[in-house]
Chains A and B, each alone.
Chain A
């Protein structure tokens, strides 16, 4: 089992975001679906410990994630946020930044860009001058550059138009075929969940956890 959540509670600003949630996320591609405000993104942030639950336990491949070194866990279970947030500089600088954090001497920038549906000439481009769709794919490439074991994708296409959405989805479908990479995709789009994932977890607002 990739992730197991047992009785997880999370409150923010006195609002109960996750209320005694229990769920199991298998290996492969899983979509977390539900209406906006149901706590999908908050749940995703718990999986690589950008936040910790107030109570309950989360296990990653059988082991409580709280026991793992948090930085090591995040390099293995990598989250790509909803909105692109690249560092200043070129696309190549962004890939190097990720490589440096993962303590890697060399990375295959070309392969990472191609996996994210980008041409390798993008490496030289100024990140700030790209379209939002391109930036989102660079975010994906940046994460792939350090070869994580799990990718957590938060509404990967919510900021994109139809054409850019199709390109990103195409890239994700390509990644899904890779047996060594598991995907957990948060989306409010049922169609996208069906296109990208092998199984789905539905979260309803403040309702106890969920089913595949």
Chain B
């Protein structure tokens, strides 16, 4: 599976030509995007280069402890990022952190236990990064929706409480809709994969000269792992986060 492919900084710089096109388009239609495009280019260069060196270091050391440390840092950053999308959810930090951590541990544990990947840094780091990244998006979208549900649907939730529903029963329809909105993007893109778009791992492997069937199989494994991790993180974070809206006496907080 491993194939050598060498990229020079010059080639990376040449790819900026298309960014220039984007900037020209933005200026032409006055979309006011050029500043954001500039920031995106600079940040992606710095962040990816830095993580490239970190990954290089971890691969060289090949220490599982370092792998765990890196994934823990990813979970922490993802929690922090998702937290801002879930601003309307009281006490969202812990549900997010638990959801993301559980998604990472469960999916990486499973792929290692099933023998799909060796417990080595060169497999666990990239898979962990993908899992945490996708889980973060799903949890952030789900909790963002949960915040809206409790803001807009307060009357319906309290009407259920007034009927004698406990907090969980009153929140269930909102939790269900939030969970769905967190996971539906990945579910939909998984449905259309190969028809409408080629996923990143497959593209990377094909570019690196891998056998297409190998590329497809690895991509399938990753898609399934991602589906699982996204479901776990969105489920855990919404199932815990709704409690923040209620008191212990099944009352909605003001």
Chain A residues engaging chain B, CB cutoff 8 angstroms? 12-13, 48-52, 70-72, 74-75, 78-81, 83, 85-88, 97-98, 101-102, 139, 142-143, 146
Contact = CB atoms under 8 A, between A and B. Distances in A.
A85 B173 contact: no
Nearest to A72: B164
A74 B164 contact: yes
Given A85-B155, A87-B156, A87-B173, A101 B249 contact: no
B163 interface: yes
A49 B251 contact: yes
Contact of A50 (B156, B158, B166, B173): B158
A78 B173 contact: no
A12 B254 contact: yes
Nearest to B153: A85
Contacts of A139: 159
Contact of B163 (A49, A51, A143): A143
Contact of A51 (B159, B160, B251): B251
B214 interface: no
B160 A50 contact: no
Contacts of B159: 81, 85-86, 139
B27 interface: no
Nearest to B247: A52
A146 B249 CA distance: 21
Contacts of B169: 101
Contacts of A70: 249-250
A179 B251 CA distance: 30
A11 to B, nearest CB: 10
Given A50-B158, A50-B161, A78-B163, A71 B250 contact: yes
B54 interface: no
Nearest to B177: A88
B94 to A, nearest CB: 25
Contacts of A75: 163-164
